Chain A
C-alpha cells in the first residue's frame, strides 16, 4: 500500500510540474505524447557537446573518481552541431546529456521536446541567470556565457585615419568596403547571435536593408567563425594561421575575444570589441538532460560537477567564456579582463517567442 502511495505521489508530482517520461525523468505537459525509445545503456554517461576545451581528460577523470560514473563524449563542431544531432536522434536518443547548446538554439530543442527536467542542485549559479528568455525552464542549466559583438582592428580603425564606428550604419560606408567578415547566421553560432542582435538594434525595421547594404559593400560572408576570425580578420591570432588572408578589419566574435588575444599575447592585442547599444548579444550556453536519457542520475551529477567551483571557475582560461557562478569574472592576468568588454546595453530579445529559423531565412535572402 505504501509503495502504491509513493508511486502515486511521484506520478502526481509529475503531473503537477509536467509528466514522467519512460526514462523516469519529467517533461512538460505538451511533450507528454512524445515518448522516445530509451537506449540500452552500459551505465556509461554519454555526453553530447562541441569541442569544449574545459572538459579535458583530467577534469573527466576527476568526475569519475568522485562519482564512479564513467563518461564518454560525442563531440560536434559547435552548438548548431549539437542541435543537429539531437534532432537526428530525436526518436531514439543516443546520449544522456548535452552541454553547449546556447540560447539562440535552445528554443528549438524545447519546442521539439528534446530535453527533460534536471534534479541538479544549481544554487551556486549567479542570480542574474534567473532572468531572461529561458530562465523559467527547469530543463536548462547555464554553464557559461559571453557577449557576441563586432571586434575591430585598431591598427586600421585608429580614430585618426579611419574613425571608430559609432553605429552599424558606419560599416556600410566606403571605408569599410570589403573589410568586414561575417560568419553565416545559418551555420555559425556567433553569426546567428549577431544577426539576432541586429533585429533589436534596428527594432525590427531596417535590419534586412542593413544586411543587404553590407552585402552591397562587399562584406565577406563565411560559413563559420573560424574562417571569419582566423583567416580573414587582421586583428586576431589568425596571423599565425596557415592560409591567413587578413583582409577584414572587423568581424564578429565575443566581446571578450580581445581579452583572450591579450591573455595569450603577453598583454598585447590590436583587437577591440565595439560597444554599440543593442548591437551585441548575450549568449548563454546550457547543459540539459536529453528526453529519453538512459543515465539520468549520472547526468544530474555531471551538471553539478560542471557548475562546481573547481570546474566552472576555470571556464575563462579553459573554454574562453565567463563562468556562471556567483561573483565569476575574468582573470586579470595579461590584460584578459582589461581588454574584455561587457556591453552596456546588449540586445534585449524574447528568444522564446522569436521564430529564429525564419529570421535566418530572411538573413540568407538579404545577404545573397
Chain B
C-alpha cells in the first residue's frame, strides 16, 4: 500500500513539474486559436511561413542520423575489436561532444567553416558556396546546401557518442568464438552472411536506438540551427521566432497557430521515434545480457594501420571544433588602412570577463550558470532516481505494461523541445503566479524538465543490474530501510549516481533553448546565453568574436571537467547510451 502511494506521489510530482507546463501551454494555445490540438496538424500546411519547414527538419534529422551511423559505426567497431592504449581516454574523447553545450559546438563549427577556417583553407566553402559546394548547390538546385552540410556535420559530431555508447560495449563484450563457430556453418561462410546471422541481430537494436536518438536530438536542435544554418528554419527555430507572441488572447493568432501546429507535429514525430528507441533499448539490453564475455580485444590483438587511421580521424573530428574555439578566443581582427590582419591577444578574455560588450560579464554569467546547475542537480537527481526506482519496482513486480508506460512518461520531456518547455513555463507562470514572472530562478524549472530524463536513463540500467541478494541479506540482518539505502544501495550505485549528477550539472550548464526563451523575461544571463548574446552584437567591434569564444571556452571547460569526472566512475559495460 505504502509503495503504491509513494509511486503515485513520484509519478504525480514528475507529471506536475515536467509535463504540466507543456499541457498548460497547449491548453492555452487551444483556447487562443480555437483549434483543438488533434486538428492542429493540418495548420502547418496552411501556414505560409511554415512552408517547407517540416520537410527541412525531417531531411536534416534523417541526414544527421545516417551520417552519424556512417561515421560512428566504424569508430565503434575498431574501438571494440582491437587493443588500444589508454582506451578509456580515447573513448572519453570520442563521446565528449555529447555533453558539450550546443552553443559551444556551434561556435567551434563556425570557426571550422568560416572564411579563414581549416575547411575553407582546403577549398570547402560552406557559406559563400564557392568551389565544390557551389557546384553541388547548382547541380542539386538546392539553395544554401552549404548550410545544410554544415548543420548535418555538426549534428553528427554532437551525436557520435550515441552510436559509440550503444555499439562499442556490445561488440567489445561479444564472445569471438561465436563468429569462429559460425564460420564453420553454411550460414556463416561469407562476411555478409555473418553480418546477417550474427552481427545484425545483436547490433540492430542498438543501431536503431542510437539512430533514433540522433534523429530526436537533431529534430529539436536549436543553437546549432540558429548559428550554423541561419538561412533555414526548423520547427524548433520557427517556434522560437513566433513563440514570443503566442498564447495571447486576441493578438497575433497566427503565432499561436504556428506554435500549436509545430508542437503537435513535434510531439507525434518525436513520440513515435522515442517509443521506437525505448523498445529498441529494451531489446538492446536483452542482447547485452547474452554477450557478457570480454576477451574479444585480446584475441583480435593490435590494430592495423587503417584501423588506427579511422580512430585518429575520429579523435581529430571530436576535438577539432573545441580546440578551434579555444584558439579563436585569442585571435582578434585588426584593420589598418583597409588591410585586415590577426592579432594574438588575451583581450577577448578581458572583454568577456568585464562584460564590455554585453550586459553581463562572464563572471556574473558563470554565477547564474552555477546556481542554476546546482539547484537543478538538487531537484532533478532525486526526482529522476525515484522515477527510475518506480519503473524498476514495477518491472520487478511483473507489471511490465505499467512499467513501460511510466518509462515512456519519463522520456516525455524529450518529446517536447526546449523552446516549448520554456514557453510552457512562461505561460503557466503568467496564468498562476504572475509575480514569479521575473524571478531569477525561473530557468531552473526548465533545466529540471530537460535534464531529469537523462537521470532516469542513467539510473534505470544501474538499478536493473543491482544484485538484489544484498538487499535480501540486509533484510535478514534486520537493517531498516534507511540503513539498507545507506549501506547497500548507495555504495552499489555510487558510480551511476556520480555519472548522473555530472551529466545533470553539465546539461544544465549548457542548456540553451529554454533558457533563451525564459531569459528574455529577465536580466539573468547564463554562460550559454552570454555566448549567443555576444555573437549577436554588431561585428563592428573586433572584440565580439574572441569574447564570445572566451565565454564559450569557460563553459566548455566546466562541462568537460564534469564529463571527465563522470567518465572516471562509469562502468565499462555501461550500455545506457548516455
**Contact across chains for B241 and A223 when beta carbons are under 8 A apart:** yes
Q: Which of B80-88, B189-197, B516-524 contacts A (4 or more CB under 8 A)?
A: B516-524
**Contact across chains for A244 and B437 when beta carbons are under 8 A apart:** no
Q: Closest approach, in angstroms, between the C-beta of B44 and any C-beta of chain A?
A: 13
- Given A84-B244, A88-B430, are A227 and B438 neighbors across the interface (CB < 8 Å)? no
A39 at the interface (CB under 8 A from B): yes
Show the binding face of A for B, using Cβ within 8 Å: 37, 39-40, 46, 51, 57, 72-77, 80-81, 83-85, 87-92, 94-95, 108, 112, 184, 186-187, 222-224, 226-227, 230-232, 237-238, 240-247, 260-261, 264-266, 268, 357, 361, 364-365, 367-368
Q: A246 to chain B: which residues have CB within 8 Å?
A: 128
Show the binding face of B for A, using Cβ within 8 Å: 48-49, 51, 110-111, 113-115, 127-129, 144, 147, 227-228, 230-231, 233, 241-242, 244-245, 247-248, 251-252, 254, 333, 335, 338, 355, 359, 426, 430, 434-435, 437-438, 520-523, 533, 535-536, 538-542, 545
CA distance A231 to B359 in the complex (A): 24
What are 29 A-B contacts with C-beta separation under 8 Å?
A72-B523, A74-B438, A74-B520, A76-B244, A80-B245, A81-B244, A81-B520, A83-B245, A88-B426, A89-B434, A91-B434, A92-B434, A94-B438, A112-B251, A187-B241, A224-B241, A231-B230, A232-B231, A242-B110, A242-B114, A243-B227, A247-B128, A260-B540, A264-B538, A265-B540, A357-B252, A361-B254, A365-B48, A368-B49
CA distance A6 to B323 in the complex (A): 71
**Contact across chains for A87 and B127 when beta carbons are under 8 A apart:** no
Seed contacts A85-B520, A247-B128, A368-B51; 15 additional CB < 8 Å A-B pairs: A40-B435, A72-B438, A73-B359, A88-B248, A94-B437, A226-B536, A242-B110, A242-B545, A243-B110, A260-B540, A261-B540, A264-B538, A265-B335, A265-B540, A364-B48
Q: Closest approach, in angstroms, between the C-beta of A36 and any C-beta of chain B?
A: 10
CA distance A84 to B248 in the complex (A): 8
**Contact across chains for B520 and A76 when beta carbons are under 8 A apart:** yes
Q: Closest approach, in angstroms, between the C-beta of B434 and any C-beta of chain A?
A: 4
Q: B254 to chain A: which residues have CB within 8 Å?
A: 186, 361, 364
- Given A237-B539, A238-B539, are A85 and B48 neighbors across the interface (CB < 8 Å)? no
**Contact across chains for A243 and B522 when beta carbons are under 8 A apart:** no
CA distance A242 to B435 in the complex (A): 39
**Contact across chains for B128 and A245 when beta carbons are under 8 A apart:** yes
**Contact across chains for A242 and B48 when beta carbons are under 8 A apart:** no
**Contact across chains for B335 and A266 when beta carbons are under 8 A apart:** yes
Residue from the list A73, A231, A242, A364 in contact with B535, Cβ < 8 A: A242
Q: Which of A231, A242, A247: most chain B Cβ within 10 A?
A: A242
Q: A46 to chain B: which residues have CB within 8 Å?
A: 438
Who on chain B is nearest to A357 by CB?
A: B252
Q: B48 to chain A: which residues have CB within 8 Å?
A: 364-365, 367-368
CA distance A39 to B545 in the complex (A): 40
**Contact across chains for A75 and B523 when beta carbons are under 8 A apart:** yes
Q: Closest approach, in angstroms, between the C-beta of A280 and any C-beta of chain B?
A: 22
Q: B231 to chain A: which residues have CB within 8 Å?
A: 222, 227, 231-232, 245
- Given A75-B523, A365-B48, are A88 and B438 neighbors across the interface (CB < 8 Å)? no
**Contact across chains for A240 and B49 when beta carbons are under 8 A apart:** no
**Contact across chains for B230 and A227 when beta carbons are under 8 A apart:** yes
CA distance A238 to B230 in the complex (A): 13
Q: B522 to chain A: which residues have CB within 8 Å?
A: 74
CA distance A227 to B127 in the complex (A): 13
Q: B251 to chain A: which residues have CB within 8 Å?
A: 87, 108, 112
CA distance A226 to B535 in the complex (A): 11
Q: A75 to chain B: which residues have CB within 8 Å?
A: 359, 520, 523
Q: A222 to chain B: which residues have CB within 8 Å?
A: 231
Q: A57 to chain B: which residues have CB within 8 Å?
A: 355, 359
CA distance A91 to B359 in the complex (A): 29
Q: Which of B114, B248, B535: most chain A Cβ within 10 A?
A: B248
**Contact across chains for B437 and A89 when beta carbons are under 8 A apart:** yes
**Contact across chains for A230 and B539 when beta carbons are under 8 A apart:** yes
**Contact across chains for A243 and B228 when beta carbons are under 8 A apart:** yes
CA distance A46 to B523 in the complex (A): 10
**Contact across chains for A89 and B335 when beta carbons are under 8 A apart:** no
CA distance A83 to B251 in the complex (A): 10
Q: Closest approach, in angstroms, between the C-beta of A163 and any C-beta of chain B?
A: 25
CA distance A94 to B429 in the complex (A): 12
- Given A80-B244, A94-B434, A94-B438, are A237 and B540 neighbors across the interface (CB < 8 Å)? yes
**Contact across chains for A245 and B244 when beta carbons are under 8 A apart:** no
Q: B359 to chain A: which residues have CB within 8 Å?
A: 51, 57, 73, 75
Q: Closest approach, in angstroms, between the C-beta of A64 and any C-beta of chain B?
A: 15
Who on chain B is nearest to A72 by CB?
A: B523
**Contact across chains for A77 and B110 when beta carbons are under 8 A apart:** no
**Contact across chains for B539 and A77 when beta carbons are under 8 A apart:** no
Q: B535 to chain A: which residues have CB within 8 Å?
A: 242
CA distance A72 to B437 in the complex (A): 13
Q: A230 to chain B: which residues have CB within 8 Å?
A: 538-539
CA distance A90 to B250 in the complex (A): 12
Q: Closest approach, in angstroms, between the C-beta of A129 and any C-beta of chain B?
A: 27
**Contact across chains for B127 and A245 when beta carbons are under 8 A apart:** yes
**Contact across chains for A223 and B233 when beta carbons are under 8 A apart:** yes
Q: B435 to chain A: which residues have CB within 8 Å?
A: 39-40, 92, 94
CA distance A37 to B433 in the complex (A): 12
**Contact across chains for A37 and B434 when beta carbons are under 8 A apart:** yes
Q: A92 to chain B: which residues have CB within 8 Å?
A: 430, 434-435
**Contact across chains for A242 and B111 when beta carbons are under 8 A apart:** yes
Who on chain A is nearest to B146 by CB?
A: A245
Who on chain A is nearest to B360 by CB?
A: A57
**Contact across chains for B539 and A243 when beta carbons are under 8 A apart:** no
Q: B434 to chain A: which residues have CB within 8 Å?
A: 37, 39, 89, 91-92, 94
CA distance A357 to B255 in the complex (A): 12
Who on chain A is nearest to B147 by CB?
A: A243
CA distance A240 to B110 in the complex (A): 12
Q: Closest approach, in angstroms, between the C-beta of A19 and any C-beta of chain B?
A: 22
Who on chain B is nearest to A246 by CB?
A: B128
Q: Closest approach, in angstroms, between the C-beta of A88 and any C-beta of chain B?
A: 5
Q: Closest approach, in angstroms, between the C-beta of B552 and any C-beta of chain A?
A: 12
Q: Closest approach, in angstroms, between the C-beta of B384 and any C-beta of chain A?
A: 31
**Contact across chains for A268 and B338 when beta carbons are under 8 A apart:** yes
- Given A242-B111, A368-B51, are A74 and B521 neighbors across the interface (CB < 8 Å)? yes
Who on chain A is nearest to B117 by CB?
A: A242
Q: B536 to chain A: which residues have CB within 8 Å?
A: 51, 226
Q: Closest approach, in angstroms, between the C-beta of B186 and any C-beta of chain A?
A: 56
Who on chain A is nearest to B520 by CB?
A: A76
CA distance A295 to B560 in the complex (A): 45
